[in-house]
């Protein structure tokens, strides 16, 4: 092994150190991806995916098979690696990955829309700053959101202090018969990830308080706290009830949060431009410090004092 000093570039990820912490971005990787797709000079979009009301083209029965499926698979596969520093792209990339075996023309149109959005946010990356070692997680689910098989999508994000350290956007393996069931499955997956992170931190001799898991579904929270509900939820697999066991043993706190403040919403469904940009800011996905001179704040929705302070502290 050899000491090479501070890391600047590793496996396609640029690491920039500034006064407030570190910024991880994949600007060169994203630029190369645009060149590969022949879209280096394309116009940018303000959001990576059309809203649900206008995304029916993805599943249109009359759509034709895309003539270059290998290109589709290559681009979408490359986009998966980009989500290492761009959690705001996790949901749309996960959605596009579901059509790898049979991409249609409309699917490739959605890939091009994502690349157009990427063109306008090339300098964006995930920011890390110092803060208290507290674990907070947000769990959400879009019940029966997939109109093809009516499976739900689980989304979660986990913060260590102010920093996002784990996130996921994944379609659930089975159909949920209620929104409470879908939310409870999301709670279970998030709880498992929290358990693993706590074990990892313990192996590193880092002690953290009992984590807090935020959920916007009152029925799922009630099931995790009250065993009386279990008699009416036998259709939920038994292994998911380990959530209640962790709550009962005081290894996990589950609290309610309004849907408007649910950060994990960005991992479960297409959003409007204003909503998407607001949640993107909560994920600490911002332009790199070197590019803030040309950063147009008008592209962001109206922000409160905390959001303005966050941008100013990075500049």
pLDDT value at position 61? 54
Highest mean pLDDT, choosing among 53-62, 122-131, 244-253:
122-131
Dist. CA 34–CA 309, nearest whole Å: 33
Residue 160 falls inside a structural domain: yes
Residues 169 and 110 in one domain: no
Report the pLDDT value the prediction gives residue 239, as an integer from 0 to 100: 52
- The closest alpha carbon to 198, from 238, 240, 249, 266, belongs to 249
86 in the same domain as 21: yes
* Type and span of the H or E element at 169: strand 163-171
Locus of tokens 């070692």: 133
Domain membership of residue 256 (yes or no) is: yes
276 part of a folded domain = no
- What pLDDT shows up at residue 5? 85
Q: Is the pLDDT of residue 312 over 50?
A: no
For 130, 134, 200, 285, the CA distances from 163, given in Å and listed in that order, are 8, 10, 17, 11
* Same-domain status, 243 and 135: yes
35 with 70, same domain: the answer is yes
* Average pLDDT, integer, range 190-216: 94
Q: Are residues 193 and 299 in the same domain?
A: no
Give the pair of three-digit tokens for residue 95: 């959605």
Q: What percentage of the chain has pLDDT greater than the value 90?
A: 57
4 lies in some domain: no
pLDDT beyond 80 at 132:
yes
- Summarised one tens digit per residue, pLDDT across range 241-261 is 778 888 888 899 999 999 999
- What confidence tens digit (pLDDT) does each residue in 73-98 have? 999 999 999 999 999 999 999 999 99
Residues 151, 107 share a domain: no
- Please report whether residue 269 resides in a domain: no
- Residues 146, 206 share a domain: yes
User: 30-39, pLDDT tens digit by residue?
Assistant: 999 999 999 9
Q: What average pLDDT score do residues 223-245 get?
A: 67
Judgement on whether residues 149 and 259 belong to the same structural domain of the protein: yes
Highest mean pLDDT among 59-63, 117-121, 176-180: 117-121
- Taking 90 as the threshold, does the pLDDT of residue 63 lie above it? no
CA atoms within 13 A on the CB side of 27: 21
Instruction: Please check whether residues 185 and 243 belong to one and the same domain.
Output: yes
pTM (2 d.p.)? 0.82
The confidence score (pLDDT) of residue 115 equals 95
For 199, other C-beta atoms within 10 Å of its C-beta total 10
| 21-24-28 Cα angle (round to 5) | 145
What one-character-per-residue DSSP string does 80-131 give? HHHTTT-GGGHHHHHHHHTTSSS-BHHHHHHHHHHHHHHHHTTTEEEEEE--
Q: What is the mean pLDDT of the chain?
A: 84
The answer to whether residue 275 is domain-embedded is no
Q: Looking at 132-136, 242-246, 291-295, which range is the least confident one?
A: 291-295
Residue 298 lies inside a defined structural domain of this protein: yes
CATH number for the domain spanning 162: value is 3.30.420.10
Adjacency order of strands within the sheet including 21-25: 9-10, 13-17, 21-25, 124-129, 285-287
The reply to whether 228 and 294 lie within a common domain is: no
- Tell me: do 145 and 111 sit in the same domain: no
Identify the band that residue 313 occupies on the pLDDT scale cut at 50, 70 and 90.
very low
Q: How many alpha carbons lie under 13 Å from residue 157 in its C-beta half-sphere?
A: 22
Find the mean pLDDT for residues 132-146.
91
The total domain count for the chain is 2
Domain extent, residue 115, equals: 9-126+284-314
Q: Are 137 and 257 contained in the same domain? A: yes
95 neighbors 57 (Cβ within 8 angstroms): no
Please compute, for residue 142, the number of CA atoms within 13 A of its CA located in the half-sphere on the CB side: 21
In a domain, 37, yes or no: yes
Both tokens of 301, joined, read 């929705």
């Amino acid at each position: 092994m050899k000491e090479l000093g501070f890391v600047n570039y590793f496996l396609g990820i640029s690491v920039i150190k500034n006064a407030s912490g570190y910024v991880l971005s994949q600007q060169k990787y994203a630029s190369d991806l645009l060149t590969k797709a022949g879209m280096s000079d394309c116009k940018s979009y303000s959001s990576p995916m059309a809203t649900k009301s206008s995304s029916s083209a993805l599943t249109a029965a009359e759509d034709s098979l895309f003539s270059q499926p290998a290109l589709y698979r290559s681009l979408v596969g490359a986009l998966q690696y980009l989500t290492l520093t761009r959690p705001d792209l996790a949901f749309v990339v996960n959605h596009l990955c579901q059509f790898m075996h049979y991409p249609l023309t409309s699917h490739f149109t959605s890939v091009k829309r994502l690349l157009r959005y990427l063109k306008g946010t090339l300098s964006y990356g995930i920011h890390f700053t110092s803060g208290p070692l507290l674990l907070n997680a947000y769990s959400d689910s879009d019940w029966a959101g997939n109109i093809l098989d009516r499976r739900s999508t689980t989304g979660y994000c986990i913060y260590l202090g102010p920093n996002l350290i784990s996130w996921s956007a994944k379609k659930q393996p089975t159909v949920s018969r209620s929104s409470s069931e879908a939310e409870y499955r999301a709670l279970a997956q998030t709880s498992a990830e929290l358990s693993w992170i706590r074990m990892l931190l313990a192996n590193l001799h880092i002690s953290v308080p009992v984590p807090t898991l935020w959920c916007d579904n009152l029925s799922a929270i009630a099931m995790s706290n009250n065993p009386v509900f279990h008699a009416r939820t036998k259709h939920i697999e038994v292994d998911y009830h380990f959530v209640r066991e962790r709550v009962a043993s005081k290894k996990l706190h589950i609290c309610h949060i309004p849907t408007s403040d649910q950060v994990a919403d960005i991992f479960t469904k297409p959003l409007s431009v204003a909503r998407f940009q607001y949640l993107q800011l909560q994920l600490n996905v911002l332009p790199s410090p070197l590019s803030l001179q040309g950063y147009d704040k008008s592209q962001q929705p109206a922000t409160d004092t905390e959001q303005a302070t966050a941008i100013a502290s990075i500049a």
